[in-house]
């Protein structure tokens, strides 16, 4: 993926109080360490309980105090943000970051911690100019800037700067005559209008692979592929809400079946494994089908699906018995799966998600090492082409260290005229944020640059 930078992308963070005391700085530093730890724990495959989180956070406090003792010749410094040894969880609940529930991040905690993740990503992106990709549909200039320009015949009269237009008329008249006569006679050259940004509304569905291989480690101490992907989506969602609120970001998690995910539940996404029956396969078709349904109800002009996966498809839907017989005639020992009611209820209860299963929908499962079953390949491509015919762009990001796995994705995107990216999972946050910004806005009718 070409690397764009965000030197000209302007965003603002809260200004810190310049009159803070050193003790306030120490307390704030400790809070930041605690929130960083909360973020790491929220992203874990196994989300700790609040009791486990308490022990982990107390360990952070203890390590910090021991470190300060060494630095200051054993002189004790109060670093505990709440003073004393009171439970940290209760204090963070009072501050509005946590709640006493299974999914313990509050909306405030989700947004503020996501903002810190985003800030780290923005700092890491290299400097340079922002590249704006071409877009299919342009909006109608709905954002008004403070700057103005001369009005031209055919421009929208709603954006007329009336005070400046009247002033231009008075200034023109006073140059010729010292006396102003009413009503004021205006000429075309007097008219001035506000400049506008052409607002381009975008809807993106990020389809995140929850198959069993996504829990593989990305390197020593760097977490797993799924943790890296969740961290990236978390910061991306906060970017969208803070700076591009008119756009829509949706999240779909998929294994053998797909499910729509509340973006605020991104940190809690879990991969499937053998304990979840046969839900741990990779069904691109399920992701495309659900993403298509989501985007059909969205009214944005530009629509896009971004697949985030570490492997090739190993499952697809069987639409009827004749297709099943066709597969069995070629491969008599093929495996098919339809989740029972108990499995659906278990997933709903444990993960608080609803699998997109329609009626007697059955999936064909076939994992072939570094190969894709021909039937699965055809069904996957057919579903993706359906999205493409509706004007939905389809791109794929391969988060894997195995070069060979990219060949299938490259072939798929060549047929869809989309883009295929192979990246190290550690860099996925920078790639997603950078890609979203570079696909975003196009300023027209304005002398100002981003």
- Which residues does the chain have with pLDDT short of 70? 1-26, 65-86, 126-146, 196-199, 219-222, 401, 403-404, 439-450
Contact 198, 445 (CB under 8 A): yes
Among 205, 406, 193, which residue's Cα sits nearest to residue 290?
205
Q: What is the pLDDT of residue 447?
A: 32
Q: What is the C-alpha separation between 246 and 147, in angstroms, rounded?
A: 22
CATH architecture of 202-438: 3-Layer(aba) Sandwich (3.40)
Q: What is the C-alpha separation between 352 and 145, in angstroms, rounded?
A: 43
Q: Judging by beta carbons within 10 Å of its beta carbon (0-12, 13-18, 19+), is residue 142 exposed, middle or buried?
A: exposed
**248-254/202-209 β-pairing:** parallel
Q: What is the C-alpha separation between 73 and 232, in angstroms, rounded?
A: 41
Q: What is the C-alpha separation between 9 and 214, in angstroms, rounded?
A: 32
- 294-351 pLDDT, tens per residue? 999 998 888 999 999 998 999 999 988 999 999 999 999 999 999 988 888 988 888 8
Q: How far is CA 77 from CA 20, 69, 74, 92, 256, in A?
A: 17, 7, 9, 21, 53
Q: What is the pLDDT of residue 305?
A: 95
Q: Which residue has the tokens 């200039």?
A: 141
Q: What is the pLDDT of residue 88?
A: 87
Q: What is the pLDDT of residue 59?
A: 85
Helix or strand or coil: residue 315? strand
- The pTM (predicted TM-score) of the whole model is 0.75
Q: How far is CA 252 from CA 104, 109, 300, in A?
A: 22, 22, 18
Q: What is the pLDDT of residue 161?
A: 82
What DSSP designation does 368 have? Answer: B
Q: What is the pLDDT of residue 25?
A: 52
Sketch the domain layout of the chain as residue ranges.
22-105, 143-197, 202-438
**202-209/419-423 β-pairing:** unpaired
- 194-240 pLDDT, tens per residue? 776 656 788 999 999 999 989 888 765 668 899 989 999 999 899 88
Contact 112, 35 (CB under 8 A): yes
DSSP bridge partners of 396: 307, 420
């Amino acid at each position: 993926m070409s690397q764009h930078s965000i030197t000209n992308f302007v965003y603002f963070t809260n200004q810190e109080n310049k009159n803070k005391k050193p003790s306030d700085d120490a307390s704030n530093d400790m809070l930041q360490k605690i929130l960083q730890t909360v973020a790491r724990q929220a992203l874990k495959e196994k989300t700790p309980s609040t009791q486990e989180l308490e022990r982990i956070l107390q360990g952070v406090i203890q390590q910090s105090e021991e470190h300060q003792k060494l630095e200051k010749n054993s002189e004790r410094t109060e670093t505990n943000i709440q003073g004393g040894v009171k439970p940290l969880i209760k204090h963070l609940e009072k501050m509005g970051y946590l709640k006493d529930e299974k999914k313990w991040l509050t909306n405030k905690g989700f947004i503020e911690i996501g903002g810190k993740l985003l800030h780290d990503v923005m700092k890491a992106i290299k400097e340079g100019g922002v590249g704006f990709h071409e877009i299919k549909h342009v909006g109608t200039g709905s954002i008004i800037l403070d700057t103005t320009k001369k009005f031209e015949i055919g421009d929208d009269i709603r954006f007329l700067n009336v005070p400046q237009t009247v002033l231009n008329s008075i200034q023109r008249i006073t140059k010729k005559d010292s006396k102003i006569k009413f009503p004021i006679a205006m000429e075309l050259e007097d008219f001035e209008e506000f400049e506008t940004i052409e607002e381009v509304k975008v809807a993106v569905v990020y389809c995140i692979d929850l198959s069993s291989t996504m829990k593989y480690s990305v390197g020593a101490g760097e977490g797993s592929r799924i943790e890296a992907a969740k961290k990236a989506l978390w910061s991306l969602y906060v970017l969208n809400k803070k700076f591009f609120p008119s756009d829509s970001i949706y999240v779909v998690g998929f294994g053998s079946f797909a499910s729509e995910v509340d973006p605020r539940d991104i940190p809690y996404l879990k991969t499937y494994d053998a304990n979840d029956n046969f839900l741990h396969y990779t069904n691109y078709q399920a992701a495309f089908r659900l993403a298509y349904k989501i985007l059909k109800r969205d009214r944005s002009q530009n629509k896009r699906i971004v697949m985030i996966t570490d492997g090739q498809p190993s499952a697809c839907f069987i639409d009827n018995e004749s297709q099943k017989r066709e597969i069995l005639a070629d491969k008599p020992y093929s495996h098919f799966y339809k989740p029972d009611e108990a499995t659906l209820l278990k997933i709903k209860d444990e993960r608080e998600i609803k699998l997109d299963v329609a009626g007697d929908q059955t999936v064909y499962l076939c994992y072939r090492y570094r190969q894709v079953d021909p039937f699965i390949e055809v069904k996957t491509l057919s579903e993706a082409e359906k999205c493409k015919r509706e004007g939905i762009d389809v791109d794929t990001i391969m988060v894997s260290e195995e070069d060979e796995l990219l060949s299938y994705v490259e072939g798929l995107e060549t047929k869809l005229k989309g883009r295929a990216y192979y990246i190290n999972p550690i860099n996925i946050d920078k790639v997603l944020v950078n890609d979203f910004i570079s696909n975003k806005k196009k300023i027209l009718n304005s002398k100002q640059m981003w």
